[in-house]
């Protein structure tokens, strides 16, 4: 029985040693090679002083080296923390500090970049690219390790946008991933013949689906590298050439590929499952895809990082018609429960048709909360009020839902200013907080134009500055402090009063009109 996620990999390495486990660009590694490498590299991590349960981040572009890194970290009884290789210095430093990281796994390119970004940081750098498996002085023993970790221990910590300006580290234990992956492999009948694509960045939890379904099934995991992602239409050819059979992505990718006009009925003969998750799935785009590829099963999955990728799913039976306004996020997956907190504050178990309110999620895959932040954890991870017999956490998603006639949940929107932009989860409050820390900024409000036209979607900021400060300087500082996808494309300065509603709050609608028309 598997209780630690790396065991999925080792079991498949026993069964399919010579099969390609992971490939990226033209580099591929077999199950056996990766199994032996990660055994040896895990010992190297341990020999460098990492103790069971410690957090070890890795910082590099997505590549076979990333797979070598996270698998080895897990095998060292540690938990991995993927860091975006494009992170600006401040964010990188904040994640390292929050993880109390004593070691950072890098490759050649990211080692250089790290030294440029944080020349005075004392974290120990270990380069996965220069480690050779047979080098015994560096701990090159490739034999199987005995694990100290239990299924309740943390496998990874993923950092998501935090409204206070500091990213939140979501702590996910092995058992949560196993619970999710057992369902996914069973539901989508993923097997060793599958070619599974990984489109999501590794610091986004959608990648959990790709990595561990492939590893459990003994399938090949094809990593979509950053350069390929930058010219999205090329992905059509890539998916076809790689004979991808399982493709999990955010809906905006489907929209952009559709708009590229490169989709042809014979583009994906090998594709079996197309799974969209992470943001609203537009019915019209879905209908186009479904008509083009009738041999493919389309599924809408839903869930925040805090419940381990997805807690509900809906297999779309037929292409949505023009009257369809939203595709349901479906019903709870096995071993997860969906509850609704209605307007008067009461929490409804097994909510029936028409019930509307905030979605609360219960089950084995609910995270342990936010790393080092008990306050924020307590606000959104609450004890199930229906009993106090045992520890039974409900995660309060902040998502508004309603139950339809068939008992499916319909996503209605957010209760706060969290947004999804190009698949990235962003708290507008985080951008506001960061702008607020820049010298000379008096006031800042950040809004999002959630246009149905993908090319019009934009983050915009209204700023007022003290005398003698320049907007250009604010823009430069912002680029250095935030990941590119969080930097507002429109930044407008004003000397006038910011528009406010009758109760004195910022009138975000008027600000949006002012900035985006
Ligand atoms: P993340 O933690 O990045 O996965 O973002 C989670 C948030 O994305 C959820 O709380 C929702 O607001 C949104 N989301 C995820 N899946 C869906 C979906 N299928 N439909 C609509 N919104 C979604």
Q: pLDDT by residue (tens digit) across 116-171?
A: 999 999 999 999 999 877 655 555 799 999 999 999 999 999 999 887 778 999 99
DSSP 378-405: HHHEEE-TT--SS--EEEEEEEEEEE-T
The 10 Å Cβ neighbour count of residue 167 is 21
DSSP 432-491: HHHHHTSTTEEEEEEEEE--SSGGG-EEEEEEEE-TT--HHHHHHHHHHHS-GGGS-SEE
Cβ of residue 168 lying under 6 Å from some atom of ligand 1? no
Contact 392, 383 (CB under 8 A): yes
What is the pLDDT, as a whole number, of residue 517?
Answer: 86
Give the E-state strand segments of 207-334 in sequence order: 220-223, 246-249, 273-277, 297-302, 312-315, 331-332
What is the pLDDT, as a whole number, of residue 503?
Answer: 77
Cβ of residue 183 lying under 6 Å from some atom of ligand 1? no
Angle at 56 between CA 54 and CA 62, to 5 degrees: 155
Atom 8, ligand 1: which residue's CA is nearest?
Answer: 278
The phi and psi torsions of 170 (rounded to 5 degrees) equal: -90, 125
Atom 4, ligand 1: which residue's CA is nearest?
Answer: 304
Residue 189 exposure: Cα atoms within 13 Å on the Cβ side: 3
- What's the 71 CA to ligand 1 centre distance in angstroms? 27
pTM: 0.93
Q: How far apart are CA 315 and CA 280, in angstroms?
A: 15
- What's the 479 CA to ligand 1 centre distance in angstroms? 26
Q: How far apart are CA 37 and CA 362, in angstroms?
A: 38
Q: How far apart are CA 237 and CA 240, in angstroms?
A: 5
Cβ of residue 283 lying under 6 Å from some atom of ligand 1? no
C-alpha distances in angstroms, 107 versus 77, 130, 149?
A: 21, 8, 26
What is the pLDDT, as a whole number, of residue 275?
Answer: 98
Cα 92 to chain centroid distance, Å, stands at 17
Q: How far apart are CA 147 and CA 43, in angstroms?
A: 12
Q: Which ligand 1 atom minimizes the distance to the CA of 204?
A: 3
Contacts of 483 (CB under 8 A, 6+ apart): 84, 86, 87, 88, 91
* Token reading at 242: 């790689």
Q: Which ligand 1 atom minimizes the distance to the CA of 398?
A: 10
**What are 504's strand-pairing partners?**
none
Q: How far apart are CA 40 and CA 46, in angstroms?
A: 10
Cβ of residue 411 lying under 6 Å from some atom of ligand 1? yes
Query: Which one, of 166, 162, 177, lies nearest residue 79 by Cα?
Result: 177
* The residue to which tokens 């952009």 are assigned: 256
What is the pLDDT, as a whole number, of residue 455?
Answer: 82
The 10 Å Cβ neighbour count of residue 92 is 22
DSSP state of 307: G
- Look at residue 163 and give its three-state secondary structure: coil
Cβ of residue 305 lying under 6 Å from some atom of ligand 1? yes
Largest CA distance in the chain: 71
- What's the 303 CA to ligand 1 centre distance in angstroms? 5
Contacts of 392 (CB under 8 A, 6+ apart): 362, 383, 384
Low-confidence ranges of the chain (pLDDT < 50): none
Cβ of residue 399 lying under 6 Å from some atom of ligand 1? yes
In the chain, the domains with their CATH numbers are 6-172 (3.40.50.980), 231-416 (3.40.50.12780), 421-516 (3.30.300.30)
Q: How far apart are CA 468 and CA 27, in angstroms?
A: 53
- What's the 510 CA to ligand 1 centre distance in angstroms? 26
Question: Of 304, 408, 423, which is best to mutate to test ligand 1, by the most ligand atoms within 8 angstroms of its C-beta?
Answer: 304
168: left (phi over 0), alpha (psi -120 to 50) or beta: beta
Q: Which ligand 1 atom minimizes the distance to the CA of 310?
A: 16
- What's the 298 CA to ligand 1 centre distance in angstroms? 17
Cβ of residue 75 lying under 6 Å from some atom of ligand 1? no
C-alpha distances in angstroms, 385 versus 63, 88, 106, 348?
A: 45, 41, 45, 10
Cβ of residue 278 lying under 6 Å from some atom of ligand 1? yes
Q: How far apart are CA 200 and CA 214, in angstroms?
A: 14
């Amino acid at each position: 029985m598997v209780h630690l996620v790396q065991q999925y990999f080792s079991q498949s390495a026993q069964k399919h040693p010579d099969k390609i486990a992971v490939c990226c660009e033209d580099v591929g590694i077999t199950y056996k090679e990766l199994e032996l490498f990660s055994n040896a590299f895990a010992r190297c991590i341990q020999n460098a002083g990492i103790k069971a349960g410690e957090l070890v981040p890795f910082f590099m572009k997505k590549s076979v080296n990333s797979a070598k890194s996270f698998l080895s970290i897990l095998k060292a009884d540690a938990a991995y923390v993927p860091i975006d290789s494009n992170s600006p210095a401040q964010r990188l430093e904040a994640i390292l500090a929050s993880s109390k990281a004593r070691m950072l796994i890098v490759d050649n390119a990211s080692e250089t970049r790290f030294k440029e970004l944080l020349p005075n940081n004392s974290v120990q750098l270990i380069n996965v690219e220069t480690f050779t498996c047979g080098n015994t002085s560096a701990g090159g023993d490739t034999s199987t390790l005995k694990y100290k970790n239990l299924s309740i221990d943390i496998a990874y910590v993923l950092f998501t946008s935090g409204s206070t300006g500091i990213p939140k580290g979501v702590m996910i234990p092995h058992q949560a991933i196993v619970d999710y992956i057992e369902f996914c492999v069973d539901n989508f009948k993923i097997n060793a013949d599958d070619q599974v694509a990984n489109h999501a960045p590794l610091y986004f939890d959608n990648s959990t689906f790709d990595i561990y379904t492939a590893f459990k099934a003994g399938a090949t995991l094809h990593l979509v590298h950053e350069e390929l992602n930058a010219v999205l239409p090329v992905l059509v050819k890539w998916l076809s050439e790689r004979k991808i059979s399982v493709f999990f992505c955010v809906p905006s990718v489907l929209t952009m590929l559709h708009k590229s006009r490169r989709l042809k009925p014979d583009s994906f003969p090998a594709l079996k499952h197309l799974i969209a998750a992470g943001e609203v799935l537009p019915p019209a785009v879905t209908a186009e895809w479904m008509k083009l590829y009738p041999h493919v099963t389309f599924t809408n999955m839903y869930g925040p990082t805090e419940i381990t990728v997805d807690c509900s799913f809906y297999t779309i039976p037929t292409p949505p018609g023009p009257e369809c306004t939203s595709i349901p996020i479906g019903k709870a997956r096995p071993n997860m429960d969906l509850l609704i907190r209605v307007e008067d504050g009461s929490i409804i178990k097994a909510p029936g048709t028409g019930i509307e309110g905030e979605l609360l999620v219960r089950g084995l895959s609910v995270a342990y909360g936010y790393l080092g932040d008990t306050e924020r954890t307590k606000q959104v991870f609450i004890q199930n009020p229906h009993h106090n017999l045992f520890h039974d956490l409900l995660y309060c998603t902040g998502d508004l839902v309603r139950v339809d006639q068939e008992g499916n949940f319909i996503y209605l929107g957010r209760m706060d200013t969290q947004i999804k932009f190009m698949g990235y989860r962003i708290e507008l409050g985080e951008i506001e907080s960061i702008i607020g820390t820049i010298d000379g900024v008096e006031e800042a409000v950040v809004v999002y134009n959630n246009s149905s036209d993908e090319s019009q979607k934009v983050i915009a900021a209204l700023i007022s500055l003290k005398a003698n400060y320049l907007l250009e300087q604010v823009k430069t500082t912002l680029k250095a402090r935030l990941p590119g996808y969080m930097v507002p494309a429109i930044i407008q300065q004003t000397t006038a009063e910011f528009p406010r509603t009758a109760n004195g709050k910022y009138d975000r609608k008027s600000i949006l009109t002012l900035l985006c028309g």
